Amino acid sequence: MALYSEKVMDHFRNPRNVGVIEDADGVGEVGNAKCGDIMKMYLKIDDDIITDVKFETFGCGSAIASSSMATELIKGKPVDEALQLTNKAVAEALDGLPDYKMHCSVLAEEAIKNALDDYHSKQASKKE
């Protein structure tokens, strides 16, 4: 059996939503100290709906595929739903990752949560 699913290879070779959103409403950056990979997520949010999302990942193929899939899973979704996204759901949507590559999908979950935290703190400071 191939180590990586076709979906992983597809999202690795043709990642969706790569890039930067200059006027993002939320930005999240995370890294994994062991492998040194870094992931950054940018969110555009209108009325609590994620209208656009882009990512930059300096990392392994599984991290790139996970970021790409994660952006597809949250685009167009309400903020509350995006907060529920787990790394397991990302890995499942990719038709699985090898056990020792599951941490790559954790980066995607964490980057989105960080970006949503950033969004919420910006919203809170606007209200002050």
- Catalytic residue positions, numbered: 35, 104
Give the HSE-up count for residue 45: Cα atoms under 13 Å, Cβ half-sphere: 24
CA distance 30 to 123: 21
Residue 60 found at the interface with ligand FES (CB under 6 A): yes
Residue 63 found at the interface with ligand FES (CB under 6 A): yes
* Structure token pair of residue 39: 């992931």
Give the nearer residue to ligand FES in terms of CB position, either 25 or 40.
40
Q: Quote the least distance from Cβ 7 to ligand FES, whole Å.
A: 16
Give the nearer residue to ligand FES in terms of CB position, either 25 or 109.
109
End-to-end alpha carbon distance in the chain: 56
